[in-house]
Amino acid sequence: MVTNLAAKTGIEGEDILWVEKYRPKKLDDIVNQEEIVAALKEFVKNRNIPNLLFSGPPGTGKTTAALCIAYELYGDTWRTYTLELNASDERKIEVVRTKLKNYAKTMVVGEVPFKIIILDEADQMTSEAQHALRRMMEKFANISRFILICNYPSKIIEPIQSRCAVFRFKRLSNDAIKERLRFIAKNEHVDLKEDGLDALVEVSEGDLRKAINLLQSVAYFGVPVNKDLVYRTAGIVFPEHVNKLLQLAFAGKFEDARKMLITMLAEEGVSGVDLLRDIYAAIARNAIPIDPEDKIKLMELIGELDFRISQGATDYLQLSALLAIITDFGTKYRKSAR
């Protein structure tokens, strides 16, 4: 796939990943995070940054912001003064005491008197490793700065949080994601249709990285990128099909709904967890006409089923049970309407 895609797009080597090729190089290029960018630019302007903690949903620019800081501080030689680690892979205390410590204690020579250590997915570090890191942040504060990146700041111990300037990245707006995808599609000569663009935004759920990767995947086929192609490539059921599934069950056509469920799970290869999430979204947007009280009951049930499936329960049986309950709801509403 990589070879064919490189031939189609003219991209070679590591630049085959569009998400890296189009990663912003300057803080000014980061969108939808204006307040954070303004603060970070002041740090860079003064040639001094505190220890930083970036948190927020995936694909919102946390790692990009950290790399932009390094690039703007050190220029083209930024890799010499920057250590980037994925803390979820190197999360044990031994790594902190050896690899991380050896780098943090090394003196630097240059206009900027410190180096940067970027720890991605820091919330996956063990408690022991975090306590060792806290001590290191104190000991080498004059020659090393730490940028911790995480999705869940509550998993970072309080002593580390108190030693960092904390910035919460917000989910990107749909308009910001669309603008970036249009820019990439134009540069890569991809025929991106408007319905395909809307589908990319919907599937990505505010995660720009996910949207760019999906765009690259569908661009591989060399055909216009439309809604159908995006949903098929992402392995997601069309919202209209989920609506039909629920409406069949609600209308008392349980067997038809069950057959449609089998088709989705077995023939289309949709995972039970993903389908359950789509059913939740469909009920939230009133795919079936039920009262708020019954909607609450269904939402609670979906939460319970999600837990059961995550613990190893058979997704087909759990989803069939959900359809049966929706059928009972429909029967109740039809009787009350008589």
Q: Is the dihedral of CA 63, 68, 73, 77 positive or negative?
A: positive
Beta bridge partners of 82: 116
What's residue 90's pLDDT? Answer: 57
Q: Which long-range contacts link 309-316 to residues 24+ away (Cβ below 8 Å)?
A: 309/272, 309/273, 309/276, 310/273, 315/265, 315/271, 315/272, 315/273, 315/275, 315/276, 316/261, 316/262, 316/265, 316/272
Same domain, 244 and 308: yes
User: Once rounded to an integer, what is the mean pLDDT over residues 234-261?
Assistant: 90
Query: Is 15 domain-assigned?
Result: no
Query: Is 12 domain-assigned?
Result: no
Contact 145, 50 (CB under 8 A): yes
- Whether the pLDDT of residue 10 is over 60: the answer is no
Query: Is 265 domain-assigned?
Result: yes
Query: Is 97 domain-assigned?
Result: yes
Same domain, 246 and 215: no
CATH number of the domain within which 260 lies: 1.20.272.10
3 state SS of 54: strand
Query: Is 322 domain-assigned?
Result: yes
Contact 299, 261 (CB under 8 A): no
3 state SS of 150: strand
Q: By mean pLDDT, which of 1-5, 6-10, 285-289, 308-312 is the weakest? A: 1-5
pLDDT in tens, 257-296: 999 999 988 877 788 888 898 899 899 888 899 888 989 9
Contact 145, 51 (CB under 8 A): yes
* Domain boundaries, position 202: 174-234
The helix (run of H) or strand (run of E) holding residue 117 is: strand 115-120
Question: Which residue, of 145, 168, 191, is where some domain finishes?
Answer: 168
Query: Is 260 domain-assigned?
Result: yes
pTM of the model: 0.77
**Total count of domains within the chain:** 3
What's residue 67's pLDDT? Answer: 94
